Amino acid sequence: MYCRNCGNKLPEGARFCGACGAEQKQSMVNADEKQPETVYQGMTGKTVEKQDVISSDSEIKSVKCPKCGGKRLQIMTETDTHVKTSGGGYSATKGCFGWLIFGPFGLLCGNCGSKQKTSVDTTNKTYWVCSDCGNKFRNLDDWKKEIEEKEKLANNTMIYCVLAFIAAFICFAIRFSFLAWIMLILGIVYVILIPVGKNQLNQEKEEYKKLEYESTEK
Ligand SMILES: [Zn+2]
Ligand SMILES: [Zn+2]
């Protein structure tokens, strides 16, 4: 069957459309016919016939709606687009190098050669939409990847933090005190940011575990 509102292909008997969210009114013919239930697995969107008895040794995890337990789910991808403008304005790095080479007046180098750059950043988030109650929830495979990426970023921040302190130490030792102070401040900023980021990451992991518990059946 197809959505009455937008024409998106829907599993038989779906009450809500995964693309536009429109409620589907069932025709009498459809309601009387007994349709085989389908289960969607992972991100592949592959449909398999639902088995009456699921053997206990099977490793297949099927996804169900955490709200109503319904198994007729549709996959849906949302794309977030961020437009970032970087460059333009004062560059601290160039200013620092300018200071090293030309002394205090070298700070003006920070204004040299800065061009505005605009980059478009897109992130895809995959959701399941329940055909029975319209509930929308994150796809676990997709969410897991996102959390892993954030974890990598957090580890990188830790490395940058250590590097900033080492750089500050070296700069103090060779009496580049201006650069040393900048590195020290950078290191301190990282020290403040790391626990905040870790805290957020842990919260997200807990939400993930909760959804995993509520939406998967072994
Ligand atoms: Zn629709
Ligand atoms: Zn549901």
* Count of Cβ atoms closer than 10 Å to residue 96 Cβ: 19
pLDDT score of 114 = 54
pLDDT at 40: 46
What's the 130 CA to ligand 2 centre distance in angstroms? 5
For the record, the structure tokens of 91 come out as 């560059």
CB 19 within 8 A of CB 137: no
Starting from the CA of residue 8, give the closest ligand: 1
Q: Which ligand is nearest to the CA of 214?
A: 2
For residue 218, what pLDDT is reported?
66
Span from the CA of 18 to the centroid of ligand 1 (angstroms): 7
CA 2, distance to chain mean position in Å, is: 30
Where exactly are the structural domains of the chain? 140-213
User: Using one digit for the tens of pLDDT, what is the confidence trace for 164-212?
Assistant: 999 999 999 999 999 999 999 999 999 999 999 999 999 999 999 999 9
Distance in Å, CA 136 to ligand 2 centroid = 8
Q: Determine the pLDDT at residue 20.
A: 87
Identify the pLDDT of residue 10.
Answer: 85
Residues of the chain scoring pLDDT < 50: 28-60
- Ligand 1 centre to CA of 66 (Å) is 22
Tokens of 180: 């040393």
- How far does the centroid of ligand 1 lie from the alpha carbon of residue 73, in Å? 14
Question: What is the structure's pLDDT at 205?
Answer: 97
Ligand 1 centroid to Cα of residue 183, in Å, is 54
Ligand nearest to the Cα of 21, by number? 1
What's residue 30's pLDDT?
42
The closest ligand to the CA of 68 turns out to be 2
**Residue 127 dihedral angles phi and psi, to the nearest 5°:** -125, 155
